[in-house]
Structure 1
Amino acid sequence: MDSAPFIGSDLVWDAGFTGEGVTVAVIDTGTDYTHPDLAHAFGEYKGWDFVDNNNDPQETPPGDPRGGSTNHGTHVAGTVAANGQIKGVAPDATLLAYRVLGPGGSGSTENVVAGIERAVQDGADIMNLSLGNTLNNPDWATSIALDWAMAEGVVAVTSNGNSGPNNWTVGSPGTSREAISVGATRLPYNVFSSEIFTSEGVEYPSAKVMGFTSEDELLALDEGEYEFVDVGLGYPADFEGKDLEGKIALISRGDFAFVDKATNAKNAGAVGAIIYNNVAGEHPDVPGMAVPTIKTTLVDGQKLLAELEAGNNTVSFDIEFAYEVGETVADFSSRGPVMETWMIKPDVSAPGVNITSTIPTHNPDNPHGYGAFQGTSMSAPHVAGAAALILQANPAWNVDQVKAALMNTAEDMIDPATGKVYPHNTQGAGSIRVLDAIETETLVAPGSHSFGKFVKDTGRQVERQSFEIQNLSNERKRYSFEVEFTGNPDGIKVMTSNNLNVQPGKRQQVNFNVQVDTSKLTPGYYEGTIKVSDGETTIDVPSILFVGEPDYPRVTGTFFEKDGDSYTVGSYLPGGAEVLDYDFYKFNASDGTIGSLLGTIGEFTNVPAPIHELSWDGNIGGEQLPNGQYVLAVYVEQGGVTEYRAYLVTKN
């Protein structure tokens, strides 16, 4: 309700574009095409179910022995094209649903690739994939499939992943060279201060607002005194036999998600919650909690428990507006760059926190509902919907023009923690603004650049790049170029044309060279911006380069699978490995720690990227290792960096 207007969708609707005539494929867990907010978007052909191999791509219902029910794809579809109580970004777009993730929301790479191919064959104009894995690999099958979908003329939009806030956390297919990868933002919000009072002489200095559904509900806590009730960890069973109606639930952190604890409190009739930490320190804010929720440290939580023991079971609140924060990048949003290609990812960002959309309830008496979710899964369909609006307004545009328009007109966001613009690998080109994308008079493609890595020990290294400028206006434009690298480091020079005239409706190539003198630069990551100006409007094109071998993780995952009488053991090595060892350790199940070394099952040198595997017979030192849980440790040396990663595995 707030996120679609925030990116400018309502302004585009007023201009006459609602996505009509544009088909968007939702490749996900299926879609409840009977939902009253979505039924208008589906024709007789709904899409395809690759999990059960039929033409009914519905969500997984409860009771499937293979896993839990799903609602994810319906939520995504609503963000694209709902038109009812919820209004999606492109409310008149046509939808096709492809169920590639089945019970429990899990699925295979094969089904995802099949869904991409079928969507292209079925004539989709746009596809949305709010899915992925944690492998930062541009050549994973799903990433390559999206490259091909773009080559076939279908705008491919995918989520960047939810493994942030560290760099290198983007996963496939967000690593695609061509598709539009999307990071998640939180809409501007108000910050409130909070104080709680139970009895004289007891103070709770750590009390802060953790999350809430609405400001009105939060501020309503100021209006009186409430009983508070200890409900332990906040499981549904913890509320049984306790009267929470109109009261505050006191809950400990631990075992399961904060949002579920707040939901359980609401279901029990509570009007608010206080969640205290179960370890030292402060736990995170969580927007969109089902009831207004205050957080405290473990120490202050223990004070509240002591108050209950002493018979002081009432609490009052003093909650006040403190300040406003602008649009921010969500901490969970995965960051780039992409390994091997060193590309900036995400390409753009869009709202993905506390997004309310359509869901199936799986309740026959009231089957259609709404829910608030968060993740880059929620941000991607904002971009898919925006692409539908852009294609309706500019039906002759190709995939590169749609992508460039979204990137060229995106708005930079400021990190409130630093007061500076977020890095390129955090926000991409910025937060999308769909009306600006439709009305732009200039397109610069590609919308970002990576110059790769400069690894000469001494002397200068030159890399050549180019981009295309398209003048969409009806008059000649004269463009100027300026390249800035953060901190203006000595040792980086960019050489390009000073000015360029482009006739109306024409395109022109711009070539430029980047010269890096590695002897004048410390190894690391350097971020720059190519500014393209027509005298009135400036387009910022993000760019990056690396001096020396980048600081990517040398091992990004491992696998351990039984194969008959032996085991297939392997690891993902994005840059290969000069040295690779696999070690087995005991696992101390009593305290979750790593025990003594049992032995090495493989030692290798000069291993090529990106995947290594070996067959292991289960023996260490000539003796069969008993079945049970162990720690598999992977040691890697590559590019002067060593890394040792430990993984829990089960031998059976």
Structure 2
Amino acid sequence: MRLLMMTIFIMTILVQADRHVHADSDVWIIEIDESKDTVVELIERDYPFIEILYTYDTLLQAVAVQGDERHIEQLHQEDWVQTYSKAVNYSAPEISNTQSPTTFPDYHEESFPYTGKGVKIGVIDTGIDYNHPDLEQNYQGGFDAVDFDGDPMETTAEEGMPTNHGTHVAGIIAADGDIRGVAPDAEIYAYRALGPGGAGTSAQVLAALEQAVKDGMDIINLSLGADVNSPDYPMAEAVNQAFDLGALIVAANGNSGPEDWTVAAPATAEKAISVGAAYTEVEQPFFEVFQHDPIAIRQIPYSEPWNLTQSYPLEHITSLDDLTSSIHDRIVVVSKQNNQYAEIINQIYEQGAKATIIYSDEEEDDPNTWDWVPSPFPVAYMTMEEAEMLLDNETWVSTIYETDENNIASFSARGPVTSDWTIKPDITAPGVDILSTVPDGYASFQGTSMAAPYVSGVLALLKEQDSNASPQILKERLLTATSPFEQDATPSTQGGGFIEVDQLLEKNYRIENQALNFGMIDDSDLDSTHTITINNEDSEPLTVTWQVPKRKTGLSWNLPLTTTLEGFSQHSFEIAINFQQKLLKKGVHEGYLSLKLNGDEKNLPYLFIHDTADYPRITGLEIETPPFDTEELRLKLYVADDLKALTIKLFDDQLISQSTLIEEQNISQGSFEKSLDKDDFESGIYEAVIEVFDGEETYYQTKEIMIP
């Protein structure tokens, strides 16, 4: 369900046909290997009961068609059909924590001479409440890829499960009323790709992205994601193409942290600006536990803030079947078991609980399932060990609060990216307890979905400052104005660091290729090099001085000499890293390389992998029912690197082996699909144990999956 609700973002757009559309028939996206004009002619000639809704020709070659399934089934047999997918909506819990505060933050710095005026920003999301008083002046139009019309309004209660995510994102960018966004004069365009409950299909997101590119958006915000850690997943490829066509692409890094390797497409795309969530100051809640250290309360991203100020009784249940009406105003501690987060949250909230703590075995839990699980009351997660400690020592709990400054949000997804071993996110921005617009009011949310639009707004200020600058130059200026937090956070956690908005417009230099991605090295490599280019954008000379990093076992640096750049000039610097293979540990090596530019310190993130690392060999595992087929299942996954063997076994909630899903030999890197006999598997939720062998070592992963 997570993958269906997700949000894989990217491209496409379209020319609407003049034919009438029947609302009660199905919509399909057909990728083709013939020209769209030829395909349109063939469909109109040979398939009178199928209507062509749109053609895609910018980011992919495809057509969107509508008709009864029996007629579509005939069409999909054509030789020119490459892939086909049904445009289906999937429900998600309602975000109902709307509030009407009396004071509001002002994201825009009043000292800035720019407000984003004249800059076009496309928000690909759940739509926008363009009647909101803080947005109605800046809203300029858009497209609805869910209903296939020009009205990208958020889903209302009359249409299904209401949404508010896109309105919240838009307000962070360009609200201009009681709340002022980062770029309050920017032009906002809405591209509704996610329907009722905040869910959608790849076809809808592709259509939205392609339309945004065709409409000439300067900046496109994608607070969405898919469960594939790969730089060449089709969605990531499409984002790169959109960038090449002139649009700055800002992508949320995802909320599946704090584990490494959790960043997912399209934030994995090379040319996307991938954004993690951070904060400068928050009040971190903890539980006091008798004779033990306090336990941190780690909230799921879309729940009400944990701001409890008095003691509450604990109510422990091991199963949702144990719920009673006596839990009113209690904090419920519940075992996740094989339940979905949404199911747990809804049932406990309906019984009147004050808050809930969901716990599970840390190795078995998959934080990715937090995505798109909004909650109208406080919800947090604990490991089984933490929950046992709490329950063994307390019957009532009090929340204490400690101020935490300059840190990465625990939910913010981490890098690196598999296959090309690059640093993501590129940057971090405010993403915790962000107040913004929602239909009929205002609300505070947290997530990388909130950090990405902050960056989109900042880019609008840069675009207004220099309207002729290319997307690449604007991206470089943005990333040059970042600084790592003064802590142990790594490049895989924060990229270049936190955005320094106060210095953004004053930087008189720009760094090209500042992320030092050395890739994977093996035992035969003695050194690796990386070249950056520094542009002096001022008339005064710029002196560049390199600082020798702290010594690390097994590697040494060969750094450039101090160099002075004349006014309005550029210079390329080659940075070399030397390896002492006998001393160098295997795994991920990362950190920052410091230099000074006229005394201004800048830290360049670097990363390389020696021989191997504990990265996920398999991502994006899902099982679906193919169109027109009631007897088969289709297994899909993405392989990060070539494998000698792959075995996936299914276990029930008692961890008893149920069946073997697949056993395959010699699988190449990239997408992998396999048809399965539906009769061999019972429907339900299982724990999939994935065993991979790369020719030298065997690795294991686990993932919760659903057999439809």
Q: TM-score range by the shorter chain?
A: 0.7 to 0.9
Q: Map of 1:254-403 to 2, 5 A cutoff? A: 273=354, 324-360=403-439, 368-403=440-475
Counterpart secondary structure, 1:111: helix
Partner of 1:19: 116
Give the Cα separation in 1 of the matches to 2:151 and 2:431. 28
Q: In structure 2, do the counterparts of structure 1 residues 98 and 478 end up closer, same or farther at CA, with 3 Å as the change threshold? A: same
Q: Is residue 134–residue 171 contact of structure 2 (8 Å, CA) maintained in 1?
A: yes
Q: 629, 646, 653: which one pairs with 1:580?
A: 646
Q: In structure 2, do the counterparts of structure 1 residues 35 and 641 end up closer, same or farther at CA, with 3 Å as the change threshold? A: farther
Q: In structure 2, do the counterparts of structure 1 residues 122 and 474 end up closer, same or farther at CA, with 3 Å as the change threshold? A: same
Partner of 1:364: none
Give the Cα separation in 2 of the matches to 1:358 and 1:230. 35
Q: What's the CA shift for 1:599?
A: 5.6
Q: In structure 2, do the counterparts of structure 1 residues 507 and 153 end up closer, same or farther at CA, with 3 Å as the change threshold? A: farther
Q: Is residue 207–residue 294 contact of structure 1 (8 Å, CA) maintained in 2?
A: no
Q: In structure 2, do the counterparts of structure 1 residues 471 and 262 end up closer, same or farther at CA, with 3 Å as the change threshold? A: farther
Counterpart secondary structure, 2:526: strand
Give the Cα separation in 2 of the matches to 1:227 and 1:144. 50
2:130 alignment partner AA: Y
Partner of 1:640: 696
Give the Cα separation in 1 of the matches to 2:644 and 2:468. 50
1:625 to 2:680 alignment: yes
Q: 154, 158, 161: which one pairs with 1:59?
A: 154
Partner of 2:656: 594
1:603 alignment partner AA: E
Q: Is residue 441–residue 472 contact of structure 1 (8 Å, CA) maintained in 2?
A: yes
Partner of 1:168: 261
Give the Cα separation in 1 of the matches to 2:390 and 2:256. 30
Partner of 1:47: 142
Partner of 1:611: 671
Q: 187, 200, 211: which one pairs with 1:107?
A: 200
1:549 alignment partner AA: T
1:137 to 2:230 alignment: yes
Q: What's the CA shift for 1:491?
A: 3.8
Q: Is residue 276–residue 298 contact of structure 1 (8 Å, CA) maintained in 2?
A: no
Give the Cα separation in 2 of the matches to 1:162 and 1:289. 18
Q: What's the CA shift for 1:100?
A: 1.2
Q: Map of 1:491-570 to 2, 5 A cutoff? A: 491-563=554-626, 564=629, 565-570=631-636
Q: Deviations over 1:168-205 (max 9, x none)?
A: 11000000101110001134124578779xxxxxx797
2:259 alignment partner AA: N
Q: What's the CA shift for 1:26?
A: 0.5
Q: Is residue 234–residue 261 contact of structure 1 (8 Å, CA) maintained in 2?
A: no
Give the Cα separation in 2 of the matches to 1:214 and 1:649. 30
Give the Cα separation in 2 of the matches to 1:279 and 1:501. 57
Give the Cα separation in 1 of the matches to 2:262 and 2:665. 27
- Name stretches of at least 5 consecutive residues in structure 1 with no aligned partner: 197-202, 306-314, 361-367, 415-419, 619-623
Counterpart secondary structure, 1:404: helix
Partner of 2:488: 421
1:463 alignment partner AA: S
Give the Cα separation in 1 of the matches to 2:483 and 2:323. 46
Give the Cα separation in 2 of the matches to 1:378 and 1:530. 29
Give the Cα separation in 2 of the matches to 1:599 and 1:141. 29
**TM-score, normalised with respect to structure 1:** 0.78
**TM-score, normalised with respect to structure 2:** 0.72
Q: Is residue 262–residue 289 contact of structure 1 (8 Å, CA) maintained in 2?
A: no
Q: Deviations over 1:128-173 (max 9, x none)?
A: 1000112001112221222122222322111001111111110000
Q: In structure 2, do the counterparts of structure 1 residues 332 and 250 end up closer, same or farther at CA, with 3 Å as the change threshold? A: closer
Give the Cα separation in 2 of the matches to 1:502 and 1:650. 59
Give the Cα separation in 2 of the matches to 1:63 and 1:428. 43
Q: What's the CA shift for 1:552?
A: 1.5
Counterpart secondary structure, 2:429: strand
Give the Cα separation in 2 of the matches to 1:191 and 1:353. 11
- Give the percent of matched residue pairs that are identical in Structure 1 and Structure 2: 30
Partner of 1:468: 533
Q: Is residue 554–residue 585 contact of structure 2 (8 Å, CA) maintained in 1?
A: no
Give the Cα separation in 2 of the matches to 1:71 and 1:54. 19
Q: Is residue 345–residue 425 contact of structure 1 (8 Å, CA) maintained in 2?
A: yes
Counterpart secondary structure, 1:550: coil
Give the Cα separation in 2 of the matches to 1:22 and 1:500. 37
Q: 435, 439, 443: which one pairs with 2:510?
A: 443
2:275 alignment partner AA: V
1:479 to 2:479 alignment: no
- Name stretches of at least 5 consecutive residues in structure 2 with no aligned partner: 1-100, 368-373
1:424 alignment partner AA: P
Q: What's the CA shift for 1:85?
A: 2.0
1:613 alignment partner AA: E
1:356 alignment partner AA: L
Q: Deviations over 1:271-310 (max 9, x none)?
A: xx576777899x99xx9996899999567668876xxxxx
Q: What's the CA shift for 1:25?
A: 0.8
Residue-pair matches, total: 583
Counterpart secondary structure, 1:501: strand
Q: What's the CA shift for 1:502?
A: 1.9
Counterpart secondary structure, 1:119: helix
1:84 to 2:177 alignment: yes
Q: Is residue 588–residue 613 contact of structure 2 (8 Å, CA) maintained in 1?
A: yes
Q: In structure 2, do the counterparts of structure 1 residues 356 and 549 end up closer, same or farther at CA, with 3 Å as the change threshold? A: same
Q: In structure 2, do the counterparts of structure 1 residues 400 and 577 end up closer, same or farther at CA, with 3 Å as the change threshold? A: same
Q: What's the CA shift for 1:123?
A: 1.7
Higher-Rg structure is: 1
Give the Cα separation in 2 of the matches to 1:650 and 1:152. 38
Counterpart secondary structure, 1:104: coil
Partner of 1:365: none
Q: In structure 2, do the counterparts of structure 1 residues 651 and 124 end up closer, same or farther at CA, with 3 Å as the change threshold? A: closer
Q: What's the CA shift for 1:97?
A: 0.6
1:430 to 2:497 alignment: yes
CA RMSD of aligned residues (A): 4.1
Give the Cα separation in 2 of the matches to 1:428 and 1:54. 39
